[in-house]
Structure 1
Amino acid sequence: MALDTGMKMIKTEKVTVENAAKTLGSGSLLVYGTPAMLLLVEKTAVALLDGHLDEGMTTVGTNLNVDHVSASPIGCEVSCEVTLTEIDRKKLTFVVEVKDPAGVIGKGTHERFIVDAEKFQNKANGKFDK
């Protein structure tokens, strides 16, 4: 595993009708939806970790604590920056900042756990096999 605190990743996306609050059902307006922002946070963290985990390992999101502090209209671009700030055995903590051209629209933290992909999937698949 080749992870170090301070690692960063940025991903961007355009605000569209498809990721708007009204379309996603999280509100009634055509502005960037909170579910879309949270998905961008997770995608960015996953992208940061890509290629840095041992063979057969992956991560699962376990906590999102992100405030959505400003609305972004259809057509603008949003960018998400995640920074790996803590490695506690298998728990990874990221500081998150999401911006549009006018400034910060989201900020907070995200946690992911490193798991063995096959074991995790098998456990989930067998959850109701009793």
Structure 2
Amino acid sequence: MDARDFITVGMSAERLTTVTQDITVQHFVPSMPAVFATPMMILVMEMTSGDAIAPKLPPGWVTVGSEVDIRHLAPAFVGQTVRTTAVVSAVERRVIRFDVASFLGDRKVGDGRHARGLVDVALFTKRFAEG
């Protein structure tokens, strides 16, 4: 399977996430401030990247995160809405690369690059079952 047959540079998606207590760093480390946790921001960036290409994936295929290079630039507090974007920047045979960013209004709170690998679910499941 070659991702270049169905994924193109420029495909994109956007997600809105309201910061809730359970996705703050304070939820995991009580002595820290109640701000959007970096791992949660990265998760949203990964999910948004998946959204950008999911409609074009052949049946039985998914993508999994394989690389992240992210900067967390500013805090987002409980109740604020973060807008996250992902744009396909490069397509290789089995790897799709994205430019990702998160914003509060026009203010960028995070950015970077992310890659997702193309996976045949049936083959993956078979290999996992075999140990």
Q: TM-score, normalised by structure 2?
A: 0.89
In the TM superposition, 1:16-31 aligns within 5 A as 16-25=20-29, 28-31=32-35
- Which residue does 1:8 correspond to in 2? 12
Q: CA RMSD in A?
A: 1.6
After the TM superposition, list the runs of 4 or more consecutive aligned residues in structure 1 that deviate by more than 6 angstroms. Answer: none
The CA distance in 1 between the partners of 2:65 and 2:28, in whole Å, is 21
Deviation at 1:124, TM superposition (A): 2.7
**Deviation of the 1:102 alpha carbon:** 5.5
In the alignment, what sits opposite 1:37? Answer: 41
TM-score normalised per structure 1: 0.90
Cα distance change on mapping 1:81 and 1:53 into 2, 3 Å: same
**Is residue 2:103 matched to residue 1:95?**
no
How far is the alpha carbon of 1:27 from its aligned partner?
A: 7.0
- Aligned residue number for residue 120 of structure 1: 124
Deviates more, 1:47-56 or 1:37-46: 47-56
Report percent identity of matched pairs.
23
Separation of aligned partners in 1, 2:100 and 2:62: 20
- How far does residue 55 in structure 1 lie from its aligned partner after superposition? 1.8
For 1:100 and 1:26, the matched residues in 2 are separated by: 24
Query: Whose helix fraction is larger, Structure 1's or Structure 2's?
Result: 2
Deviation at residue 123 of structure 1 after TM alignment: 1.9
Return the structure number with greater relative CO, CA threshold 8 A, min gap 6: 2
Amino acid at match of 1:36: M
Residue equivalent to 2:89: 85
Q: Unpaired segments of 5 or more residues in structure 1? A: none
Partner of 1:62: 66
For structure 2, the residue ranges without an aligned partner over 5 or more in a row are none
Number of equivalent positions: 127
Aligned 8 A contact 2:12 2:53 in 1 = no
